[in-house]
Structure 1
């Protein structure tokens, strides 16, 4: 066999070996390496996690962790890890998964209708990395509250119910700043002008809106209910809002999970700044987080002469409105008779 032929054979063998090695490398890097049935999943890497801890976290979702490690180390991921929320798609290869672990996916954070800061924090901490204790201490930081015009009674009003895009592992300081900025953004020139026309601050509007929100679930009725309370404020009449009594009872008992469906005459004498039967004007802060429709209902309240309203027994969910106490008494009697027949004891 001549040298030329031998050389050709050697080259052929080397080429074949190269193809085999290349195929093995290709399979190692670019073949599917996921191990879950869903189309996509989110992997959460806690703050402070090191490479070995991350491997343990992702292991259940990776078919061959050895292949993943090989690619991760070649791409220097093992030396450059960071926390966050990362999306794996079904069928991803190791290369794509390493890439995914470098892209912290935001989440859509939603909250509404919370009656206390504690309940809000519980809702938020279930969706984010921040623990509830750290979060509530951050919100109640006196320097932060004062800088943004809030106090312990009004801070709940800073959180406008909506859906916000945030990082899962956002720090409590950055999160509270984001919420403060969203609050300022919400109170645009138009809303601030309407509040000023009512001779109210944004914080006072939210306090009243919380009462309106609790009084009626019917969005189309909220401007009329808001008009009643604004009329009472102008006349220096007590608001006499049952939801404030319910809030005062829950606050006294330190139990916002209890369900109170009915307010009795004995409840109306509770010693609380939130008792709008004994105190004239607005309570010291919101009794819940009003949604945007309730806030705008106050800012765009219906102009009328009603100063009373009572739950309707004919149009459930709605109310009957009255200008005089005598007229109101007729509706109130019907409601008392109806609720007595329902057997509601609390």
Structure 2
């Protein structure tokens, strides 16, 4: 019996040794797992921390349709985050990746994940440096050229060459411009007056093209019958814009635009000279305070005192209000109008020359 017990005891020794080895291995593996997990945890925790802060801004470009991973890689490349994969997982965990907006951003190293995400979610992009140009209603090509020099670094000579030759320029409205040597500036009246913004680096041609496109867009907003109305009166778009420019230069009070348009229409029907001062003023580099009789005798196809019918083309850039008035004149029997001298800048209208003379006298009395 004792011998058997000794044998069994000796037989258990290897089993115990194997168990100890197994436990030792398992313990080591557990320590390795814990150590690895701890290391990974430390690595992730470190990756979630902001990079070293600096005051130097970094430009980040997020293209349209960029994925979360692409955005994360851009941020890592620019040194704003430590690990793009960790940032991507962070976005997924926070359910933030779908609202990030494309654009150019200025960010500073040291920003937290939350701050960068908030900036991109709100679309707080860098505002591009813009060129702003305002073209007032009723400005001539030469006045616009002076305005461009005043408001931009563009060249007036380059601009004038563009509007005089129209090389490479297209548009629905400008296709109606007749081939006439009498036209002073080919695109006079076709550059729609408005405030425009252009990216820095834009050119004179960009400006001209935009203003031409804007005119086409404005004409597209007119009532559907506007072209039919012109056909009824035998007018082209070019002639309509010419009338609109005359109205623009003659009228200040909005309610009178259609009335003055009616006077022009009535005089054209009767083949009477329009006798519009603004067409004579167009012949000078700068408008005169007062026209004299000798001014009215200047030989020019634009002088509506010496010539019947419309001048060769527009004398300024008309507003949409004047364009509408040119298309839809007020139906009256008025053939004359004179400016009131009471400061209102309105007009007195008359059907006959006798009435017109009385209006002139009445207007002069208000001056006194």
Give the shorter-chain TM-score range. 0.5 to 0.7
Asked if 1:332 is matched to 2:360, the reply is yes
Aligned-residue RMSD, C-alpha: 4.5
Q: How does 1:214-229 map to 2 (within 5 A)?
A: 214-229=249-264
Question: Tell me, which stretches of 5 or more residues in structure 2 are unaligned?
Answer: 1-26, 62-72, 80-102, 178-182
> SS state of the match for residue 306, structure 1?
coil
- 1:156 equivalent among 172, 184, 188: 188
**2:237 corresponds to:** 202
**1:306 corresponds to:** 334
Asked if 1:116 is matched to 2:143, the reply is no
Query: Comparing 144-153 with 319-328, which one deviates more in the overlay?
Result: 144-153
Q: Deviations over 1:144-202 (max 9, x none)?
A: 46982336544122223346787665666666555545444544552211111221111
**1:20 corresponds to:** 46
Query: Comparing 145-154 with 224-233, which one deviates more in the overlay?
Result: 145-154
TM-score computed with the length of structure 1 as normaliser: 0.65
Contact 2:138–2:319 (CA under 8 A) maintained in structure 1 = no
Contact 2:57–2:107 (CA under 8 A) maintained in structure 1 = no
Query: Comparing 238-247 with 107-116, which one deviates more in the overlay?
Result: 107-116
C-alpha separation in 1, matches of 2:105 and 2:245? 38
- 1:213 equivalent among 226, 248, 252: 248
**1:65 corresponds to:** 57
Q: Over alpha carbons, which structure has the higher Rg? A: 2
**1:55 corresponds to:** none
Q: What is the deviation of 1:333?
A: 2.4
> SS state of the match for residue 332, structure 2?
coil
Higher relative contact order (CA 8 A, sep 6+): 1
**2:281 corresponds to:** 246
C-alpha separation in 1, matches of 2:167 and 2:44? 66
**2:69 corresponds to:** none
Q: What is the deviation of 1:203?
A: 0.7
**2:77 corresponds to:** 74
Contact 1:231–1:305 (CA under 8 A) maintained in structure 2 = yes
Q: What is the deviation of 1:125?
A: 7.5
Contact 1:111–1:120 (CA under 8 A) maintained in structure 2 = yes
C-alpha separation in 1, matches of 2:343 and 2:147? 33
TM-score computed with the length of structure 2 as normaliser: 0.62
Matched positions, count:
289
